[in-house]
Structure formats: structure tokens, C-alpha cells
Amino acid sequence: MLKPRGRATTLIELMIVTGIMVIVVGAVLVFLIMSDSSWQIGQNKLIEQQQARNGMSDIAGLLQYSSPNWTDFSGNNYPVSLSTGRIDFYIPVFYASCCPDNCPDQSVCIDAGGSTHSGDEISALTKVTYKIDPNDSSKLLKKIGISSESVIANDIDTVTFSCGCSGCSAVNDSCPVVDITITTQRETPYTLESKIALRNQGTTIASDVEIEEPQEGEF
């Protein structure tokens, strides 16, 4: 006696199985896409936070050595200048620490007038500028003296500089503090704020101290 054959799969059953597979595969793809998107958003947030920290660390590292207003014995002033998206200030350069008696080359301890100096005396002031790139507002630029400018942070939204005391209008010996706020935006805005106290207050420098700075309007 012949045994009956198994029941053949119908077209409807095939369509049902195919539909279920499409739903399952689609759900997996949606999950993977959402996971990748969430990971990318997280990465972008980390990048913008790091950019803000890079900018703040770079500015604070130099600004703390400035003075609210360097003054020489001839009455010339070299103050901290604040404007929209820009700060200008001067940092001291000292004679070699081995001066005046322990340097192999004693010329590093002698100024243009032939006077010998010790390692705790200022030999020059160097101008430092941070500003938003006028050609790309997402970049924060730095220039030290006459050296080439460099980019210290990207993904910039805004940068503000102001005096860091209540009711103040300028950085001076009464308020030797600069308030810095950096906001970056790659995914969502991230804001970092810090108040930097200037260490050199009421310091008078020699009139023949060299001033290293760009030509007016160069940067």
C-alpha cells in the first residue's frame, strides 16, 4: 500500500513566513541604526566637550601669568584688553634661571644696555591673543608674539571674555580676574566657564624691556 505524501506548502504559508522574516530583519536593522545613531551622538558630545576643555586649558595656562596692566618706568601701559570673542594680554619672559653667575654663556644675562640681570627679572613681554577666526567662526585661534597663529579649538559656538568681579567694567588691580565662557556645538550646546586670577599685579618693568607683538592690525 502506498503511503500518502506530506502536505505541500501553500503560497499563503510562504507569504506568512516571508512576512515574519521581513518584520524580524526590519526590527533588527532599526535597532542597529538607532544604536549607531546614539553612539554617534555620544561621540559628538564627547568631542565638543573636549574642544571646550582644550580651549579653556590653553587660555588659562598663559593668562594666569599676565598682569591686569603692566607698566614701565616711562609710563607705558600693557593692559589686558577684552572685546567680543577676543582677549589680548602680555606674559613675561624672564632672564635665564642661571643668571647672573652660573650660565656658561653670560650674554644671556645682559640686556641691550650692557646691564647684567638675575633670573627673576623680566627680559621681555610677549603679547598673546585669542580670538574667533574671522573666516570660520567655529575655530578659536591663538597667536603668541610674532609666531604663526594656530587653532586651539574647533566646534566653537561662542566665546566671551569679561572681568570676573561683581559690578566690574574692566580687568584691573582691583579686579585681577578674567571670566571666560566657551560654548561648543557639534551635537548639542556644551558650555564651560572658568574664572582665571592673574598672578602678576602692580608690577613695574624696566623701560628698555623688549615688547614682542605683531604689527598693529596684523592679527
Cell of 92: 613675561
**Residue at 154 is within a domain:** yes
pLDDT of residue 218: 86
Q: In whole angstroms, give the CA distance from residue 78 to residue 72.
A: 9
- pLDDT at position 14: 78
Integer Cα distance of 186 and 57 in angstroms: 19
Cα–Cα nearest to 81, from 89, 71, 73, 70? 89
Q: What is the pLDDT along the chain (219 residues), one digit of tens a residue?
A: 545 555 556 777 778 878 888 888 877 877 777 766 666 767 778 888 999 999 999 999 999 999 999 999 888 999 999 998 999 999 999 999 999 989 999 888 988 888 899 988 899 999 999 999 999 999 999 999 999 999 999 999 999 999 999 888 899 999 999 999 999 988 788 999 999 999 998 888 888 889 999 988 888
Residue 69 to residues 132, 153, 198, Cα–Cα distance (Å): 23, 27, 10
What DSSP element (H or E) covers 87? strand 86-94
Identify the residue whose cell numbers are 569679561.
162
Taking the model in full, what pTM does it have?
A: 0.80
Helix segments in the chain, DSSP class H? 11-63
In a domain, 28, yes or no: no
- What pLDDT, on the 0 to 100 scale, is given for residue 39? 64
- Chain centroid offset of residue 71 CA: 28
Within-domain flag for 14:
no
Q: Which domain holds residue 161?
A: 50-96+124-212
Read off φ and ψ for residue 180, nearest 5 degrees. Answer: -120, 130
pLDDT at position 18 is 81
129 in a structural domain: yes
Beta strands in 95-206 (DSSP E): 122-132, 140-144, 150-153, 156-163, 177-185, 189-197, 204-205
Work out how many domains the chain is built from and give that number: 1
**Residue 138 placed within a domain:** yes
Residue 66 lies in a domain: yes
45 inside domain: no
Answer whether residue 20 is part of any domain. Answer: no
